Structure 1
Amino acid sequence: MCGIAGIFAATPDTAIESQTLVNMAAIMNHRGPDSYGYCNPADMGIGMSHARLSIIDLDENRGRQPFWLDGGQTMCVHNGEFYDFQRIRTDLMAAGVDFTSKSDSEVLPTLFRRFGMNVTLTRLRGEFAFSLYDEMEDTLYLVRDRFGIKPLYWTQTDDAIIYGSEVKVLLAHPDVKPELDSEGLFHQLIQVMVPGTTAFKGIQQVEPGHMLKITRKDGEFHIETHKYWDMDFPVIGTREEHTEDYYIEGVRRELIDAVQVRLNADVPVGCYLSGGIDSCAILGLASGIEQEPLKAFTISFDNADYDESDIAREMAESVNADQEVLQLNADLLYNNFSRTIWHTERTIYNTLAVAKLMMSQRVRHVKYKVVLTGEGSDELFAGYPAFRQDMFLHGMEGLDASQASEWRKSLETSNALFKGAMLAKDEYVSEELNSKVGFTPSCLQPWLGCSEHAKQLIHPSHRENLQGYEPGNAIAAKLDDSYLSERHPLDKAQYVWIKTMLEGQILTWGGDRVDMANSMEARPPFLDHKLAEFAANIPPEMRIRGSKEKYVLREAMKGLLPETLYKREKFAFMAPPAHTDDAKWQKLKALLNQYASREKVEKAGLLDADYLETLVSKQESSHTDVSEKVQIDAILNHALGVMLLHHHFIETDIPAYAYEQAQSLNWVV
């Protein structure tokens, strides 16, 4: 687990500045504090750098990247983990290949040289982002893992492609100018992003399961985008029929394998543990595989309605885990809000991101670098309340009156705390999403439903640029119809979530960015692509049985879970919103006064100061209903986040700051 960066010039004779490469590594030193490396051979117009967090092969010299192999024909840097790499190494060594390290990363250039990139990608298992330069074709490859667990950003200037693990890495290059564009700004205020985009003008993401092939010729770049994997649910009528036991046993088998390969490390591995069946299942399986009791890390909130620590404690005791509980309050959550935005590089609707950042800090404090997490389970097994809603509304034809009444009652009472955030306050319909998906997925409606607030909150100059802009249309345009057409409504709802909220929220500000802020690697076994491919074939009625979500997973893990947890309804994990507690509300207001005062808002030219004050007043009014307060809380967090993005990345001279970081680390070349 590391951070990567690189520069690919339009012409081979362009010199790549060594200190710029090092500065790009230095500004993400939190991703890799153990060592760094760079490579920029003369007369090649290519340079790469790397900040290393040592987990596999702890020898500092042996595992140093970039790798520059085959007599200089192949250069690469890698962030993440390739699982089963020992088997790949053994096969290649049997064929006469020599390796210079024990690092999992070194299998990448070796596979590429023997089989080419297309075959190589089928052999790689895990969470990863990498760049690889092939001198023979004068081609740079930028590749991101199947679900987008690891980030990879890129931009094109007048004479170079610049890329890295974080936006700030690109901004450390003096030719990349920071600017929030109108559409990016708008999507920051409504939470949901258009896949592949960022808040910053000209800066894109390599999309999950995609490869960019960038070939250089006569001073120009030819850029091809290839999808090498996607979540492929069966076309209606083609799903193979099997017994219930087949699916239960298959889930158990695939999940055990996914957990087992992710326990492989040269450092201790712990587990995140909430009160949900996902993290509890991971801890239970890992405890069965490992010989010694595992370390479990749990977040506890100071609001009983949102706190799951009692159930987590019961699970930890059942497997004799050594549990660390981090208790969070208003001071810890809001005092670290600004720091969190520096790392997420996008806005957040809820302080859960801050809570996760504080948890990764505790993990490193007790000298752990790696944890297993439960992310991905809800995506594979239909765990969110929005999925139940879409299943009932669009996938349950033929219900009799009694069955329909039971479903409706379940939907009305389920997760009432989250109406306005996880569930829409009011129905929102997008014509383009209706056309492509067949309906507007419930998971997007809460955020698309903030559009009117966002249009009034955005500064008039940006508002003018957004005349006629419909965010649902922009999202729909990025969805691949070939993976939606003729699928079951539940499959469609899960696919849309995976392409939007999973990558843009859960794996970003709820995952890699706040984990790596404290040099900690999170490994999500549920997002193993082999498990995902099995799960895609599970019938919808076995993912949601009656009104019970994640039925097949519950049955597969039944023997591991405490009885109360096995029977418990899904509880969406989030931090208590500010309106639920006067101490939190006062802390949020203080941050708004500090970073989003009328003077600062008007100077930045991003938000409408009058409407921001209107929202604050409305939040304090006793006449505002609870679901609207949940929605306004999210919008105020986004508004604060926008102003912090401006503070951190627009007002700050990032190239100068990156050089200062390099100096402080003694990384001056």
Structure 2
Amino acid sequence: MSAFVCTLSPDAAPSADAAGRLRHLGIAAHSVISDGPFCAAAGEPVLRPLTARRGALAAAGDVRLDNRADLLRFAAPVRPDAPDLEFVLALFDVHGEHCIPMLAGDFAVVLWDGRTRTLVAARDAFGVRPLFHATAGGTLRIASRLEALAQDAAYDEAWVSGFLLGGSSNPERTLWEGRRAVPPGGVLVAAEGRVQERRWWRAEDFVPARHADGAEAAAQVRRLFADAVRVRLGAPGETWSQLSGGLDSSAVVSTAQWLAEAGEAPGLAGTVSVVDSLGDGDETRYSDEVLRRWNVRGESVRDPWPWQDDGEPPVATDEPRPMFPYWARDRRMCAIVRDAGGRVMLSGQGSDHYLDGPGTFAADLLRTGRVGEALRTVTLHAVARRQSFYHGLWRDALRPLLPAALSGAGARPAAPAWVQQRFARRAGMTAARPRSRPGRVWSDETGVYLRILAGQLERGPFTEGMEVRYPFLDRRLAEFCLRLPVEQRVRPGGSKWVLREAMRGILPEAVRTRRGKGGIDARILWALQHEAPRVGWLLRDPWVAQAGWVDADALRAAVERARQGEVDNLSHLLGTLSLETWLRVRAGAWAPVRAETRDAVAA
């Protein structure tokens, strides 16, 4: 895993600072660019160069473009085989910071103009590539790894509260106070001693149309999605894909093989699936349909569980993750791909955040005077859900329009019982989120979903010698879908209508018409018992309790109730235990538990 660090300091020695922060990560500086107050230092490149120079201009970043051919006429002359980072620098030479909205792809980039002493740092629309910054004593530091900026930092309790509730809704905050993320679709500009932050892309700025031809929309989604898959395929033999058996990952695999069958792309070297035999976690009947249809190699990781000992100590990810204890599963998936010569893994993540969503578009209909449409929408969804019409009318149409003080709309969920109440009050865990704009409830809520997506994308072992690419996070595809009428995305009794229509003839019908998804609750409950010695060790004197965030006795009681089969707040419980685990692993305080002790307790 490589990284880059940039320092902008009018007083200190920026080159020593940037290279030193790389060494803190255990990475030697492979390339260093210094220009007066600016320095960029990067480790040895794994997939692509991380630094570039062009006269008085310099860049550091991880860039993979989808639309380079479309931008050639807008850039300064650059050699055809130049890396994408160098190409972005050629665009920057002509357009300055205005080149950022031109870019489609995955990127975290820092651009320096030595002529004007201006620094521009930007992140792709969906935050596929991470980018962090901190300012102290007049020095601005920007890094691709948060750990490079974390020395001597205190915890940000607002971020912790969001994590304990299932994920922070503020993509700019991090675990460390004063260390911030450049948000998805965000840009930071430093010039003349000032640092300004703004958004260059926002999902909520795309207004759904009132009407559109469904067949034409499906045909366009089919074209855009096929292109999104095509541009993310690597060289022959190096691209794999995750395959769960769900609609999204199956669409990725099937489209890749459909393109290969037509001679338009190299296709996949194989797929990797996680198979869980407990509860409703086994989706092999659907994934097998895809494998049979396209005759593609399928590998699987069977029955993984949290805290599983795979013979190697866990390694802390750059930030805490709700599923961090699944390190054995993640490492095994990546090992399958790397051992077969793979360098790219495709994922189906992303479409849930803009092709699905809440029913609150009924509130938009009501607010804009389309009362009949609003009532008809509420009725159809109530029938499909087998729920009360009046309950749906209140939840989806009336409540979002009332002031927050009357409706409670936008309030965050109540803190789990094990969270210390003093901490909950101090951190504002019951504070209301910003209200949506009148007539834009659906768009604003979709924007929130897409902003928090970056915290759910694959990190850790998935960035070691390989990269994950997300066809559904193709900006051109997402922007088209965000402009579609809501009813072409969500319909009563089903979601992602336009994607299902676009996949006719490509996806096996059993998968295309499938409703619902598998789950892992049963496996988590099993793991709490099977890993009782490990979990007991974590709960003996929890660090999250020492920090004042959690009541240790209440947390132990919640774990015991879960072992008896209680699933309420299970995701929050796993998140709390994940944070406890991550803190110990990061501090080097992880101790192995002997297998015979674990098995004796489980028996």
1:99 aligns with 2:79: yes
- Determine which of 270, 282, 285 is the counterpart of 1:310: 285
Matched with 1:258 is: 228
CA contact (8 A) 1:298 1:324 kept: yes
Give SS of 2:30's match: strand
In 2, distance between residues paired with 1:371 and 1:254? 20
Matched with 2:386 is: 409
CA contact (8 A) 1:3 1:165 kept: yes
CA contact (8 A) 2:4 2:40 kept: no
1:116 aligns with 2:90: no
1:504 aligns with 2:449: no
1:83 aligns with 2:29: no
Matched with 2:434 is: 476
Matched with 2:417 is: 453
1:529 aligns with 2:480: no
Q: How much has 1:551 moved relative to structure 2?
A: 0.9
In 2, distance between residues paired with 1:407 and 1:25? 52
- Determine which of 512, 521, 524 is the counterpart of 1:576: 521
Give SS of 1:47's match: strand
Q: How much has 1:530 moved relative to structure 2?
A: 0.8
Give SS of 1:76's match: strand
CA contact (8 A) 1:351 1:575 kept: no
CA contact (8 A) 2:21 2:148 kept: no
CA contact (8 A) 1:21 1:47 kept: no
- CA distance change for structure 1 residues 254 and 42 in 2, over 3 Å: closer, same or farther? closer
- Determine which of 52, 64, 76 is the counterpart of 2:45: 52
Q: Which amino acid aligns with 1:576?
A: D
Matched with 2:134 is: 155
Q: How much has 1:213 moved relative to structure 2?
A: 0.4
Moved more, 297-306 or 589-598: 589-598
1:271 aligns with 2:241: yes
> For 1:269-322, what per-residue CA distance to the aligned partner results, in whole angstroms no more than 9, with x for missing partners?
122211112111111221122355521121111315112122112102201111
> For 1:367-394, what per-residue CA distance to the aligned partner results, in whole angstroms no more than 9, with x for missing partners?
2110222111222311xxxx35546788
Q: How much has 1:452 moved relative to structure 2?
A: 4.5
Moved more, 558-567 or 353-362: 353-362
In 1, distance between residues paired with 2:178 and 2:148? 14
1:399 aligns with 2:376: yes
Matched with 2:153 is: 178
- Determine which of 229, 243, 248 is the counterpart of 2:201: 229
In 1, distance between residues paired with 2:522 and 2:362? 29
- CA distance change for structure 1 residues 307 and 635 in 2, over 3 Å: closer, same or farther? same
- CA distance change for structure 1 residues 65 and 563 in 2, over 3 Å: closer, same or farther? closer
Q: How much has 1:528 moved relative to structure 2?
A: 0.9
In 1, distance between residues paired with 2:101 and 2:574? 41
CA RMSD of aligned residues (A): 3.7
Q: Which amino acid aligns with 2:293?
A: S
In 1, distance between residues paired with 2:578 and 2:311? 9
1:199 aligns with 2:175: yes
In 1, distance between residues paired with 2:317 and 2:310? 11
- CA distance change for structure 1 residues 245 and 233 in 2, over 3 Å: closer, same or farther? farther
1:37 aligns with 2:33: no
In 2, distance between residues paired with 1:324 and 1:471? 44
TM-score by length of 1: 0.76
In 1, distance between residues paired with 2:105 and 2:487? 29
Give SS of 2:338's match: helix
CA contact (8 A) 1:256 1:285 kept: yes
Q: How much has 1:335 moved relative to structure 2?
A: 3.1
CA contact (8 A) 1:392 1:407 kept: no
Report how many residues are paired.
569
Q: Which amino acid aligns with 1:504?
A: G
- CA distance change for structure 1 residues 435 and 454 in 2, over 3 Å: closer, same or farther? farther
Q: How much has 1:455 moved relative to structure 2?
A: 3.6
In 2, distance between residues paired with 1:548 and 1:495? 21
Matched with 2:392 is: none
> For 1:56-95, what per-residue CA distance to the aligned partner results, in whole angstroms no more than 9, with x for missing partners?
xxxxxxxx4421221xx11211214112335545775xx6
- Determine which of 481, 487, 504 is the counterpart of 1:541: 487
CA contact (8 A) 2:273 2:300 kept: yes
- CA distance change for structure 1 residues 404 and 196 in 2, over 3 Å: closer, same or farther? closer
Identity %: 21
CA contact (8 A) 2:10 2:37 kept: no
Q: How much has 1:19 moved relative to structure 2?
A: 4.4
Matched with 1:60 is: none
Does 1 or 2 have the higher relative contact order (CA < 8 Å, sep 6+)? 1
In 1, distance between residues paired with 2:484 and 2:66? 25
> For 1:252-284, what per-residue CA distance to the aligned partner results, in whole angstroms no more than 9, with x for missing partners?
111112112112558721222111121111112
Matched with 1:637 is: 574
Matched with 1:11 is: 11
Q: How much has 1:604 moved relative to structure 2?
A: 5.1
CA contact (8 A) 2:278 2:522 kept: no
Q: How much has 1:588 moved relative to structure 2?
A: 4.5
In 2, distance between residues paired with 1:311 and 1:391? 32
Matched with 2:534 is: 591
In 2, distance between residues paired with 1:499 and 1:434? 24
Q: How much has 1:222 moved relative to structure 2?
A: 0.9
CA contact (8 A) 2:276 2:523 kept: no
1:348 aligns with 2:348: no
> For 1:591-642, what per-residue CA distance to the aligned partner results, in whole angstroms no more than 9, with x for missing partners?
33233322756655553222222323333457xxx4xx241x3233222233
- CA distance change for structure 1 residues 87 and 497 in 2, over 3 Å: closer, same or farther? closer
In 2, distance between residues paired with 1:111 and 1:438? 50
CA contact (8 A) 2:418 2:558 kept: no
In 1, distance between residues paired with 2:501 and 2:279? 28
> For 1:465-500, what per-residue CA distance to the aligned partner results, in whole angstroms no more than 9, with x for missing partners?
33xx24543x428xxx6xx4422x544442321123
1:486 aligns with 2:486: no
Give SS of 1:122's match: helix
CA contact (8 A) 1:381 1:549 kept: yes
CA contact (8 A) 1:191 1:347 kept: no
- Determine which of 556, 562, 569 is the counterpart of 1:613: 556
Q: Which amino acid aligns with 1:306?
A: G
In 1, distance between residues paired with 2:491 and 2:443? 15
Q: How much has 1:11 moved relative to structure 2?
A: 2.9
1:280 aligns with 2:250: yes
CA contact (8 A) 1:178 1:650 kept: no
Q: Which amino acid aligns with 2:185?
A: G
Matched with 1:495 is: 447
CA contact (8 A) 1:12 1:46 kept: no
Matched with 2:51 is: 66
Q: Which amino acid aligns with 2:195?
A: I
In 2, distance between residues paired with 1:322 and 1:544? 33
Q: How much has 1:228 moved relative to structure 2?
A: 1.0
- Determine which of 505, 513, 516 is the counterpart of 1:559: 505
Matched with 2:601 is: none
Q: How much has 1:210 moved relative to structure 2?
A: 0.8
CA contact (8 A) 1:141 1:214 kept: yes
- CA distance change for structure 1 residues 450 and 265 in 2, over 3 Å: closer, same or farther? farther
In 2, distance between residues paired with 1:521 and 1:630? 35
Give SS of 2:536's match: helix
Matched with 1:666 is: none
Give unpaired runs (5+ residues) of structure 1.
Answer: 30-35, 56-63, 413-426, 653-669
Q: How much has 1:229 moved relative to structure 2?
A: 1.1
In 2, distance between residues paired with 1:157 and 1:10? 12
CA contact (8 A) 1:347 1:637 kept: no
Q: Which amino acid aligns with 2:468?
A: A
Q: Which amino acid aligns with 2:153?
A: P
Q: Which amino acid aligns with 1:48?
A: A
> For 1:127-167, what per-residue CA distance to the aligned partner results, in whole angstroms no more than 9, with x for missing partners?
11111121122222111100111111111222422222222
CA contact (8 A) 1:235 1:486 kept: no
- CA distance change for structure 1 residues 325 and 617 in 2, over 3 Å: closer, same or farther? closer
TM-score by length of 2: 0.83
Give SS of 2:376's match: coil
Give SS of 1:52's match: coil
Give SS of 1:343's match: coil
Q: How much has 1:225 moved relative to structure 2?
A: 0.9
